[in-house]
Structures are given as C-alpha cells and as structure tokens.
Amino acid sequence: MIRLSAQDRLRRILAIIPWVVDKGGADLSEIAERFDYAENMLLLDLENVVGLVGVAPFGPGDMIEVTVDDGFVEIGYADWFSRPLRLTPAELLELIAAGKSVAVLADQEQLGSLERGLTKMAVALGEGAQEAIDVRLGSGDGDVLGAFRQAVEKGQVLAIDYYTFGRNESQSRQVEPHRLFADKGHWYAEAFCQLRTEVRLFRLDRVRDFSETDQTFTPVLDTAPIGEVFPIDEKMPEVVLRLAPAAQWVVGEYPHHEATEEENGHWTVRLPVASPAWLARLLLRLGPQAEILKAPKDLGQALRAKAAGRVLARMNQERHLSGSSGG
C-alpha cells in the first residue's frame, strides 16, 4: 500500500463515490483493494469527509449519505444532486478565483481539464472575465513555494530564516515540511520544527531565506481531517471577545477554541493568545467593534489602553516633527 498525500486521497475519493453508487454498494475491503487505499484511512475519509459534504441548512436531503454496516459501504447522493446547477455571477467569480489559485500548484498534466473548466465558467460569466481576475497568493518568493513543495515530495529538511509576526522577530530554524495548503490568500506549510520539537504552521511569505540541507526525514502519514489546519496550543492564555457583526471575519481568520453567534449578529469568541503584541495589534485593528469579556490581568483593558497610548504618542511625535520641519 503506497503512502497517499491529501491530494491523492481526494482524487481517489472523487472516483470512489460514483463507483460505489453505481454498484449499489461494495465491501470496504473491495474498495480499498481496487483503489489502493488503506482500509482504516478509507473508513476515516468516508465517515469524516464524504459524510460531511452537503449544502445549507445541512438537514435531511442536504447531505451525502454514507453507511458502513459490517464492512459493507453504501453511498447515497443528496437530493440537491438531481437539481439543475445554477450559479450567480458572484459564485462563478469565486469558483474562477479558486481555480486559478489551485492552478499554481497543479502539475502540467492536470492543467488541461482545470483550464477547460475555468474557460467554460469565464464564458458563462461574460467577455473579459478570464483576464479580469488575477489571483496572487501570498507565497513570498516563488522559489520558496517550489522549495517547500520539493521538500514535501523528497522528505528533505529545509533550513529557513522565518519572521514571526507575533514576536516581531526573525529566527533560523530547520523544518520538516509535511504538507502545503492555501487559506485566505496565503500559502502555508505544516512542518515539524526541530527548534520547537513540534509540528508548526509556517506562512510562506514570511520565510525570508531558505536553503536545502543533507538531512532527510520520514514523511508523516496525513490523517488529519480536512479543515483542521490550524492546531491550537492548549497551553496558551486565552481571551473572550464579543465581536460586532462587522468583525465576524475574526472567527474565520484566527484559530479559536469556541465561537458562538448571538441573535443580534454579534459573536462571542474564545481566542488563544500567541503573544501580547499580537493581541494588542488585533484590538487596535478592531477598535470599538470588540468588547473584552474575559482576559488574564495582563491581556485585558490595560493592554488595549497601553497599545492605544503608544500609537497616540507616536502620532503626536510625528506631528511635532512635521511641525518643526515646516517651521
């Protein structure tokens, strides 16, 4: 049984679903053998990935049904599979943008079908749509993305100079890249950091420099469910914020322990705090859109007031310097 990357697993799952549906069901062992898929991983993906695919409001008839009974697998399409697919211009635009971002990492042999699909959607959207969309993911130097991709494939350790935003410092590290993924306009690498002796996420546009090493590592089997891309360190202090509707982006942008939407559109979110500097910048950015409900003594209102004071002092200093130079 070969080791499957996340991309390999997705390809096989997309082939398995119609095959099982057409057969009216199949034994788990038969599917695993036919598609060269480890049974334990196949079962995990059927239940935790395929079984969670659906559309809002995610009720009966909205989800793909997966049943595994005594080793026999049955898959039923949701009702919406039989409905004509109608997309709004905004949805088409999102699909084209997503397709162009995926094309950055696609192999040449994969680009043909992807480009044909993108062209069809662009034609449906209207003349000039293909040229109007320019997707630029924050991968930093293009060579960085290529180096990480090669390191993942070869199991090669990279030496990097990495800028940590929360601490506002650069540090040399040696990392073992396990996988790459894109999220909200940036490329990330999930890699074992030899300095911290744990798996960390590295944003590729923050890699200042890199070099290959003679070290190799055994790639870790990718068994994490799709979507769990931001691991949370339970040892970090946390704050509880109440966010105005306009600040809902925080829920999707940052790892959190819990997020609850209120009837009036506000959100209550428990955020782990990587560093006080990171939290101070976030609070300044949010301004009156965030209310601190709960926080350790050094991470509450005093931190916000201190950060605001520093910004005000700098502004006053700049005004003074500007006035002096003008006189």
How far is 13 from 75, CA to CA, in rounded Å?
12
Give the chain's domains with CATH numbers: 6-82 (1.10.10), 89-132 (no CATH), 142-216 (2.30.30), 238-311 (3.30.70)
| CA–CA separation, 237 and 251 (whole Å) | 17
pLDDT given at position 56: 65
DSSP assignment of 247-273, as one string?
A: GTHHHHHS--SEEEE-TTS-EEEEEE-
Q: Could you tell me which residues are beta bridge partners of residue 73?
A: 26, 68
On the 0-12 / 13-18 / 19+ scale of CB atoms within 10 A, 31 is buried
Average pLDDT by stretches of 10, the chain with 327 residues: 67 85 89 87 86 70 83 82 68 70 54 64 62 51 80 91 76 89 71 86 87 85 42 68 86 75 86 77 84 84 74 66 57
Q: Say what the pLDDT of residue 165 is.
A: 64
Q: Which pLDDT score is estimated for 229?
A: 41
Return d(Cα 100, Cα 94) in angstroms, integer: 10
Phi and psi dihedrals of 297, rounded to 5?
-55, -40
The tokens describing 113, both together, are 């079908």
> In this structure, what token pair is assigned to residue 146?
């290529």
Q: What is the pTM of this model?
A: 0.40
Identify the helix (H) or strand (E) that includes residue 206.
Answer: none
- Model pLDDT, residue 227: 38
